[in-house]
Each structure stands twice: as C-alpha cells, then as structure tokens.
Amino acid sequence: MARARKSVEVAKTANSQEDLLKFYRDMLLMRRFEERAGQLYGMGLIGGFCHLYIGQEAIAVGMQSIQIKGDQIITGYRDHGHMLAAGMDPREVMAELTGRSGGSSRGKGGSMHMFSIEAGFFGGHGIVGAQVSLGTGLALANQYKANGNVAFVYFGDGAANQGQVYESFNMASLWKLPVVYVVENNQYAMGTSIERSSSETHLHRRGVSFNIPGEEVDGMDVEAVREAGARAAAHARDGHGPYILEMKTYRYRGHSMSDPAKYRTKEEVDEVKKTRDPIDHLREVLDAKGWADEAAYKAIDAEVKAIVADAAEFARTSPEPDPAELYTDVYLEAAQ
C-alpha cells in the first residue's frame, strides 16, 4: 500500500543556522525548565516522584526534529524533556508537576503521568519497560491504518533488561512494524551501573537475534542524534520494520529527587559536564561557524528564562483540582 508520508532526509553537515539555533534554544529551555522544577520540588511545591532529564536534552530535541505529523512518542517517567520537545505547553507541564488544575492531566497525573494526543505524546509511564510494549502497539496501529507514521519508543539501559522488551522486539520485527526504539543509555538504572547489570552492554546489539538493525549514537551531539534518527525513521517508515538507536548519554542529577549518589563519584559527573555537555557542544559548533554572537545567546537566554518564569508562576497560582474531579477520567464508561 502506498505510504502517505515521507521521512525527513538529513545529513549531519546539512543543518542550517536556523536549525542549530532552534536546537540550542530548545535544549536550553529543557535545561532551565528542569532546573526550575528541581527548585519547586525543594520548596515543597512539587510532591511525589520527579525524575529530571538534565544532561540528556540532545536526544529529545534531535529526535523530535525528524518526526512528522502524526508520529507518536512514548517514554518512561523521565519525561518532561520529551513533552516539551513534542510541543506541549511548558505551563501545562509545570502545573501538572505541582498538581494543579491547569496541568495537562488536570493535576491528577503528576510528573510521570502526562499525555497529549494533540502533541502525539503517549506518556509518561512508571512501570519500567511497559512503554516498549505499548509503543509497539502504537506501531501496530500505524501499520493497520497504513497512515505512514512511526512510533518512537524511548527506554533506559535498565529497562533494556526487561523481558517484555524482547517479546515486543520479536513481534515488531516479525510483522515489520514502523517503530524506532531509542535506548537512552545514561549508564545507570537508579544506583546500578550498566556494567553491574548487563551481560551485553552494547545495547544497540540487543536486536541481533530478532534481525533488528541497531547503531550506537553520541547522544550528547544533537546533530548526530538527528542524522541517525532520520536514518532509523526512514527505515521504519519505508516498511523495513523496527530499528534500534542506542544513545550514549548521561544524567547529571540523581535518579529522582532523593538519591544519595553513592554509586558514582562527583569527579565522574564533573568530567562529563566539562567535556560532553550537549548544550556547550552545540555552542562550540555555532561559534566555529560564526552563526551566533553574544547578543544572540543573550536573547535566547532571556526568552527561555521568561518562558520558564511564566510556567512556574502559572504552576504556583493555578488552583488545585476541584474535589469533584476525584472520580473523573478514572474509568471510561463504555457505550452499551
């Protein structure tokens, strides 16, 4: 059947000044948004779980840049960056974190349970690995509808050891489903390093026995992410089935907000921040091309700060959900 939609074609060197400035702005927005969320958590305005994405921004931004209308995204609980990349309103995301009625789930979902059909964002899942099976189901729906769309399924190095991931790989490959599996290998699953938990640490090879091609990507380089993402998406969209991208990345903050961080040294974290930071890296690229000066960086900084300040104010002042909302959206009444 003819596919209605074509993938975006990208070569790493082909990114325009406009592209790179947008990636810089989008990554900075994520970083400042997350820093602010961390502060609000410290002030007691955010309760429950909260997993920050700081350090991993190039993945969500690079991958989003090659998606087309109707493509879906699904991920685990480290989800704020993906929601912003998908185009969800920072106000709604922040207000969901503070549990207010202006939040994207009307304050009843919190950090791990947001959702937006319009943005193609299918959550936000707290069960490690569950999104892989659900996302494979989204790909099956795409195939069934022949809509030319691809499901982008994100999961971590820890989730990569879950059994349902491999059941999903088998079906996705057998049925040639349009799905890209993006493993965000930040090297730790809570306090357990990948070396301690995985017999095969090269996660892009995990599809070999299912005939799924995979590649390792520098997840700290937004252009490398975009280029590999375009290749993987074209493969899936053209009917060749699933593709695995292993993004080598690092999370700067603790697993969640309470993390004693005894499993790694401060020197290890500082070294990554100093030598591999995705935002600093892109700034070096922009500088080398002469595509941004101090005034341009300042303007982006000011724009991002204003968006985050506005989102935080909205999240602080939006009213709490009405008690009458307690039972709404919990069960869907099926038509008889």
| Binding interface with Mg ion (CB under 5 A) | 156-157, 186, 189
Q: Contact 198/261 with Cβ under 8 angstroms?
A: no
Say if CB 53 and CB 28 are below 8 A apart.
Answer: no
The answer to whether 219 contacts ligand TPP (rule: CB under 6 A) is: no
Does 55 help bind ligand TPP (rule: CB under 6 A)? no
CA distances from 313 to 112, 213, 272, 274 (A): 21, 46, 32, 32
Binds ligand TPP by CB under 6 A, chosen from 14, 146, 174, 190: 190
Closer residue to ligand TPP in complex, CB, 67/198: 198
Q: How far is the CB of 137 from Mg ion (least distance, A)?
A: 23
Decide whether 33 or 53 has the Cβ nearer to Mg ion. Answer: 53
In the complex, least distance from residue 151 CB atom to ligand TPP, rounded to whole angstroms: 18
Note whether 103 and 325 are within 8 A (CB): no
Member of 38, 70, 126, 213 binding ligand TPP (CB under 6 A): 126
Secondary structure (3-state) at 292: coil
Q: State whether the Cα torsion 249-253-315-309 is positive or negative.
A: negative
Shortest-Cβ-distance residue relative to ligand TPP: 156
By CB under 6 A, the residues from 220 to 259 that bind ligand TPP are 255
**What letter would DSSP give residue 215?**
E
What is the 8-class DSSP label of residue 121?
Answer: B
Q: From start to end of 62-203, where are the E strands?
A: 72-74, 151-156, 179-185, 188-189, 192-193
Q: Smaller CB distance to ligand TPP: residue 186 or 318?
A: 186
60: contact with ligand TPP by CB under 6 A: no
Minimum distance, C-beta of residue 185 to ligand TPP, in the bound complex (Å): 8
Nearer Cβ to ligand TPP (109/178): 109
> How near is the Cβ of 255 to Mg ion at its closest, in Å?
8
110 lies in the site for ligand TPP, by CB under 6 A: no
Burial of residue 319, with CB atoms counted within 10 A of its CB: 0-12 exposed, 13-18 middle, 19 or more buried: exposed
Interface residues with ligand TPP (CB under 6 A)?
A: 78, 126-128, 156-159, 186, 188-190, 255
